[in-house]
Amino acid sequence: MKILTLDLEYDFETDRLDNLKFIPKILDFFDEHKVKATFFVLGELVKDNEELIKEISRKHEIASHSFSHKRLNKLNGFELEEEIKKSKEAFKEIGINVKGFRAPYFITNKRLWNVLKKNGFEYDSSVAGFFPGRYLNFNLKPRKINGIIELPVPNLIFPFPNGLSYHRMLYPFSKLLKMNYMFYFHPCEFLGEMNMNEINFFVKKAYKRNLKKSWQIFEEIVKKEKWVGCRKFIKEKRI
């Protein structure tokens, strides 16, 4: 049993939402293969996509990906709390009580876990292993931080996180690697193109490789495992 997560946000480094057209295809694929997942969704997408988010919530877990996708390390204490509180309230308005959180870009803030606890969250999944110029973390085991369960994104192979982007980068070698306890992806990877203007050379190379094969690689990964959402995993493993 592994955790499957996806981040529902704007298309890579843009303000477009073309990736949302893949959600029905993803949901049908999940149904076909009896997959359950956690969708980390931006709070500011709720108002204009209420029916889509409600449809997702009927079979899958909805969690928060913040309200507006700001980098949390750039926010002061008041701004951080507003970002998280606004996100929680956006989902509450459509009858969804989110209990999980994932920070945009996997960039955290030292106040994050206290603010999450204050606002009624139970778990977080914001810690990832490596991204050039952003973060480098070595403790990737599930644990509690200030009373919040932390579900770090594990590595595919050191130092690369277990995400679709890195599976693509290392494909077909990645097919030989053991699947760790959590996998994540972004639906915008299925668009076949990404805006790379703000990204350094290394990341451009990594994110562009096998981009046209994203859905094929995704299917191969999902078909191999039994998948659940974060809260189900926490309950079953008694974390």
Could you report the per-residue pLDDT of 72-124, keeping only the tens digit for each?
999 999 999 999 999 999 999 999 999 999 999 999 999 999 999 999 999 99
Say yes or no to pLDDT of 4 above 90. yes
DSSP letter string over 70-119?
--GGG--HHHHHHHHHHHHHHHHTTT----EE--GGG---TTHHHHHHHT
- Flag whether pLDDT at 148 surpasses 80: yes
pTM, rounded to two decimals: 0.95
Contact 230, 123 (CB under 8 A): yes
Query: CA-to-CA distance for 173 and 139, rounded, in angstroms?
Result: 25
pLDDT class of 201 with cuts at 50, 70, 90 = low
Supply the pLDDT for residue 190: 96
Whether 133 has a pLDDT exceeding 70, the answer reads: yes
CATH number of the domain to which 169 belongs = 3.20.20.370
Q: Tell me the C-alpha distance between 130 and 142, whole Å.
A: 17
- Assess whether pLDDT exceeds 80 at residue 162: yes
Q: State the total domains in the chain.
A: 1
User: Is 164 within 8 Å of 185 (Cβ atoms)?
Assistant: yes
Over residues 206-225, the pLDDT tens digits come to 677 898 999 999 999 999 99
Let me know how many helices (H) and strands (E) the chain has, helices first.
8, 13
CB 6 within 8 A of CB 53: no
Cα 106 to Cα 104: distance, rounded to the nearest angstrom: 5
Domain membership of residue 40 as a residue range: 2-237
- Angle of helix 50-57 relative to helix 23-32, nearest 10 degrees, comes to 10
